[in-house]
Structure 1
Amino acid sequence: MDTTWEGRLGWTAGLVADDPVVRVRAQRRLTVMRRLMYAALRRLYAVPGRLDDPERAGLLAHYRLRQSFCFPEGLGPKEPLGTSACLPYLIRYLEWEVRYPDEWYATAKDWTAKEVLLRHLTREFADLPVAAKRRLVELVVLVIRREYHVEDVSWARLARAVDLPEFRGRLAELDDGTNAVPAKRARFLLWLLDHPEAPQLQRIHWHYGRYPQPRRRTGRQRSRR
């Protein structure tokens, strides 16, 4: 059994293919992989005892192996993303949600995974390869153009970390001066890039276009200084 990244998750390229037939085939494979994973988990739970007991330890190892062939369960980035073989597959999972959200939702919806993976990318964006940065910029632009989805604020947080000069150009192209949603979002992100001192972005800011402002000190807080 090939347990390299490509051996385990190379087939996920089909999930973002242009050909719908290829995407359906990949979704069916993911469904099978997940059934095997959950079957392994049920076998683990069916055996009582400590996890370090030989029988349970073997069942646990088998479950983790099955888990590693699933999406997004098989990602689990631990090493620096800039040098990790996990990076292309991590971005692919996010690309799948952006390009084919209905298929993602029906097959492998995981809002927590989306938020956690985007948080990893935001924290380590500066150290990512240029090709990965540019791919993420393309995905941010697609997110700006679409209707709001759960945890899209995490994409806006990622946008604040983008250090590519062409990103501002892409945002300027989207801002046509109208009140259309993509134009307002582009202006919003340009403002965020110009105001790195602004507080952490919350969902209400991105969803309603409210610009985050520093908290005002109360009289009691000022008196403590």
Structure 2
Amino acid sequence: MAHNEAAEKSERFSAGSGGDEADAWRARLGWAFGLIADDPAEREAALAHLDGVRRDCRAALERCNELWHLTRPLGPEEQYQEPTFRRAREVYAQMSGRSLPGGLWVGGGGRGPRLPYALLFLEWEARFPREWTEHAKAWGAKQSLIRLMAVAGHDQPTRAKLIDLVEVVVQRAYRCKDREYVRVARAVDGEVLRHRLHAAAASDNPWARLHAGYILWLLDRPEVPNTRHVWRTWVAETSGRHRDFSGPR
């Protein structure tokens, strides 16, 4: 997806939320849509921006830690009112808000202005896993964002994006926290998703056959929990060609 197209989708996803709040998110993290651009040069520029912001965050955190030690003799109440230390904390918060994944947790729920940036972070990990791992690996953030997205009632553009993500993920060898996408599949279950999963399960890709087959099996059994035990039992009970893929999940 080109950067301009991604930015236009961000505008549509943010529609209906407070304009000022959406503008604030865009000012902090609008650059991040370059991370999922089709143009390698645009992605490279966005990665360089992210690396710079993360360096600033580390420097600001080091400054906070230094001042915390220096002001500790003041006592707990006076310490946090000390102007230099207070300003250092403000700078760190500002830097974190312009970075990933830290900036994703600056206010807002799963919907509204945060939604396009949460989806962006997940799409980045799904489409460009090497770059994501090198520049912003955060398995806990990935898990939290998937769970945040795994709810009913999304609008059509959001449902379409989540279905796309499930389709991408089932095509690859398992990555940490990919099993969480079962939650998303259950939240957006429907004809479109099942059609894509059936196609993946019938493909020549062994990972797609395995992962898509497992998700389809769970979609037909909403009462069954998505646990490691269930996964391993399912693999053991399916065709022997799956046995090589039954490692930890």
User: TM tier, shorter chain?
Assistant: 0.7 to 0.9
Aligned residue among 179, 192, 215 for 1:189: 215
Does the 8 A contact of 1:148 with 1:207 survive in 2?
Answer: no
Does the 8 A contact of 1:177 with 1:183 survive in 2?
Answer: yes
Which residue in 2 is equivalent to 1:144? 170
User: SS at the partner of 1:37?
Assistant: helix
Q: Is structure 2 residue 85 aligned with structure 1 residue 65?
A: no
Distance (whole Å) between structure 2 residues aligned to residue 97 and residue 179 of structure 1: 20
User: SS at the partner of 1:149?
Assistant: coil
Distance (whole Å) between structure 2 residues aligned to residue 13 and residue 98 of structure 1: 14
Distance (whole Å) between structure 2 residues aligned to residue 4 and residue 42 of structure 1: 26
Distance (whole Å) between structure 2 residues aligned to residue 37 and residue 141 of structure 1: 34
Q: Is structure 2 residue 49 aligned with structure 1 residue 29?
A: yes
Structure with the bigger percentage of helix: 2
Q: Is structure 2 residue 29 aligned with structure 1 residue 4?
A: no
Aligned alpha-carbon RMSD (Å): 2.5
Does the 8 A contact of 1:15 with 1:96 survive in 2?
Answer: yes
Which residue in 1 is equivalent to 2:148? 120
Deviation track 1:129-178 (CA, whole Å, cap 9, x = no partner) reads 22111101101101000111111111123212223331111112222287
Letter in 1 for 2:146: L
Cα gap change, 1:182 to 1:204, in 2 (>3 Å): farther
Distance (whole Å) between structure 2 residues aligned to residue 103 and residue 171 of structure 1: 26
Which residue in 2 is equivalent to 1:18? 38
Per the TM alignment, residue 87 of structure 1 is displaced from its structure 2 partner at its CA by 0.5
Distance (whole Å) between structure 1 residues aligned to residue 192 and residue 205 of structure 2: 23
Q: Is structure 2 residue 81 aligned with structure 1 residue 55?
A: no
Letter in 2 for 1:166: V
Per the TM alignment, residue 202 of structure 1 is displaced from its structure 2 partner at its CA by 2.5
Letter in 1 for 2:90: A
Task: Give 5+ residue unaligned stretches, structure 1.
Answer: 213-225
Per the TM alignment, residue 180 of structure 1 is displaced from its structure 2 partner at its CA by 2.5
Aligned residue among 212, 223, 227 for 1:202: 227
Identity %: 35
Does the 8 A contact of 1:17 with 1:23 survive in 2?
Answer: yes
Does the 8 A contact of 1:178 with 1:184 survive in 2?
Answer: no
Does the 8 A contact of 2:104 with 2:117 survive in 1?
Answer: yes
Letter in 2 for 1:146: R
Which residue in 2 is equivalent to 1:93? 121
Does the 8 A contact of 1:153 with 1:206 survive in 2?
Answer: no
Which residue in 2 is equivalent to 1:160? 186
Which residue in 2 is equivalent to 1:41? 61
Which residue in 2 is equivalent to 1:108? 136
User: SS at the partner of 2:211?
Assistant: helix
Does the 8 A contact of 1:81 with 1:128 survive in 2?
Answer: no
Deviation track 1:20-47 (CA, whole Å, cap 9, x = no partner) reads 1111111010000011111111111111
Does the 8 A contact of 2:189 with 2:219 survive in 1?
Answer: no
Task: Give the number of aligned pairs.
Answer: 207
